[in-house]
Amino acid sequence: MKAPGVIDVFAARKRIAPHLPRTPLINYPAIDRLIGARVLVKHENIQPVGAFKVRGGVNLISLLAPRERAAGVITASTGNHGQSVAYAASLFGVRAVIVVPENANPLKVASMRSLGAEVLSHGADFDDARVHCEAMARDQGMRYVHSGDEPLLIAGVATIALEIIEDEPRVNTIITPIGGGSGAAGACIVAKAVNPEIRIIGVGAERAPAAYKSWRAKQLLEDKMETASEGLATRTAFALPQSIMWELLDDFIQVSEEEIRDAIGLLIEKAHTLAEGAGASPLAAAFKIRDRLADQTVALVVSGGNITLEQLRSAVAPR
């Protein structure tokens, strides 16, 4: 696999533009005061499927070869990647099969089905679903879409950073969630090509540390997966995003479940916006390292807003 370059990102933007909105980058003074910096929120939570990954799905599905379109696509997902593939497949008239863990977010599963995808449940977590999905892809001859090791997905989601820098060229730091790492890898590709001084900081869950440990060790590792934030929930690191992050990612912050829940509440209170756990994690990280961000211009990628009522109640319940 070859990592995409910034030219691939510009090409992806041209393909995506007819199908997806340019999302707003908004400053909230209440968050500025909380962090001690000028903070801009990139609202990927308002995408048609409520999450950033749809950019990659549209980019990839739009370029399928005729044989691949005829065979259909299959993927494994905890939710947002599956919605991305389902949405893009519906746009281009392609059959889509999504394999999800048995405890997958019901809102995301319902969204996939409403978009016309066939949704199958298998296993306790994402990696169980992924292994089963890969076997099905081989047996049925479908185009397997890995949720991270796909250059076209990374180029698609990299358009987020392109929009951030265009809207605020003075940005010093971009903070973005890391589950598989496609979003962070894409941000690195764009930022370092446009202005190498822009720092890219990734955020992961303490209770799903495989991506963090792999980045630190510069080798692919597995670890526990116990986080409630499905967008951060991987126990096996992905090769292509990690190879990009090993070279270009400036820092990787881990946050606790409590810090994520607090950040969900803060985004409701200070920015009047709804974020799922992964989407709130950049604010959790910014608050954690706020002394290092003082007086900077910081962009937080709110990657998704697909939170269940149960998750929302847990986040805002008194503690």
25-36 pLDDT per residue, tens: 999 999 999 999
Q: What percent of the chain has pLDDT over 90?
A: 92
Tokens read off for 97: 């099969």
Tokens read off for 5: 């370059």
Mean pLDDT within 296-313: 95
pLDDT band at 266 (very low <50, low <70, confident <90, very high): very high
Is residue 319 over pLDDT 80? no
CA 84-287-201 angle, 5° bins = 50
* CB atoms inside a 10 Å sphere around CB 106: 11
Q: Bridge partners of 119?
A: 98
pLDDT confidence of residue 91: 97
Is residue 127 over pLDDT 90? no
pLDDT confidence of residue 306: 93
Task: Tell me the CATH number for domain 6-52+152-316.
Answer: 3.40.50.1100
pLDDT confidence of residue 318: 82
The answer to whether the predicted template modeling score (pTM) of the entire model surpasses 0.85 is yes
pLDDT confidence of residue 126: 86
pLDDT band at 282 (very low <50, low <70, confident <90, very high): very high
Higher-pLDDT residue of 124 and 175 is 175
Please tell us whether the domain made up of 54-148 is placed in CATH 3.40.50.1100: yes
Cite the residue boundaries of each domain of the chain with CATH code 3.40.50.1100. Answer: 6-52+152-316, 54-148
Question: Considering Cα of 62, then 67, then 240, then 234, what sign does the dihedral take?
Answer: positive
Mean pLDDT within 94-98: 98
